[in-house]
A and B are shown apart, each in its own frame.
Chain A
């Protein structure tokens, strides 16, 4: 991977990081209603995967979906407006953080139901295969979702029917307030082997490693449709949701967060490859300006209008 490509990846991760830091502040200030599940620390996963996806390729996501959404190229202004519950949101303020979708970008939605994106993406992969053209579908889910039945159903079906679906597990070691070992009696590589599905495990905090591995899997799936499982070991820096005090987590586990920070790891790589200090400063300023513009637009937009609640329940109104 050359330096400019790495810079692209770094910039994408920075957009996700700074957007979520901004959301964190907006939430604390009461400007974001509802729950907020931040993916700070996990930015390398969707950045690396979506690097190889076009708008025709589809993704779906889970409750911790901001990174997945932004990595798919969804417009920042509509994104902030949605999470802030404004009429100009991508989903007219009806979905919020857990349901951001942009079908024009192949983003089939975040999801409030753990594991639910998996059959939806499997169906999307089936459609893409039937339509021809070498497109693929990817789904992001946490290690916690591995305990849900639909995951096992879909591993089976995707393998039986050779569907071009990339199952991306973000294993951050936590399923809400419970560690993975209290949730899962096996390991994902073993599950993959049981279903005869190609498995790759990567350091999910190293964007280059995620991108290279995902890239190879996706290229293969475009040639010959078949599922693959990509397990990314990563880190959930914040609590399960904003406001979670994380008293169930011991200090040692959070100790070396900085050393595992995907942005820091990518920056170290870029600096070694010769990227100048000024580039980092300039990129940060640019990204922050884009985010501030999106926040300002959302703030000046009207709140979602209750009068519109009955529209879009059905495509054609009765």
Chain B
């Protein structure tokens, strides 16, 4: 039936209370070196580079770790306490600030920020009037998180397709479902190649390409995962919608996809 689709429904719905940031988790991430990863050993960091950071952010994206991971990571070495996870840092990225109210420090042009009723229940959002300029490292690490989410969507879909039975067999036996899952994997693996390559070269065009492919893999993958879950995918209790909503949030960061597309188009004629 068509009940949930009342086209006139325009009021905000039941909301969970505003999510709180888990400070203990934050310190634990700090201890693991999540934020200080790219600092030199002299600065009490791990002295690692972008490729390692990409792997770590991919895992965070897979697990949908909540919090301003990117802003705090980028602040390590600049904002005291950020590297260890003692201090939570939020920052304007594009037209958004994630986790502004929970942060100890808010960086970069968050003036005039207005709170929003965030579609992602695990990412509170503010909107800022003037867009903050895109930082290529932020774009790349965002792509890495998207990649992790894309991979997770594929895993969840495959797991469900193996076990859910209809018409006397696992739904994964139907080609329609098989093909959905196969495409999820194909998109995620192509994105992975692009993201890993960009992590090594750190070239602007490589990063832009990684971003486009990873955004698509995450958003499309989460959608297809929802479809494979049928009615269950449409519920709050099932984790699938969280993947999709987080992927939507990240797709708005750092100039969105338009900026990456323009950059890549421009590269063809220079």
Genuine A/B complex: no
- The residues of B with any CB-CB pair to A shorter than 8 Å are none
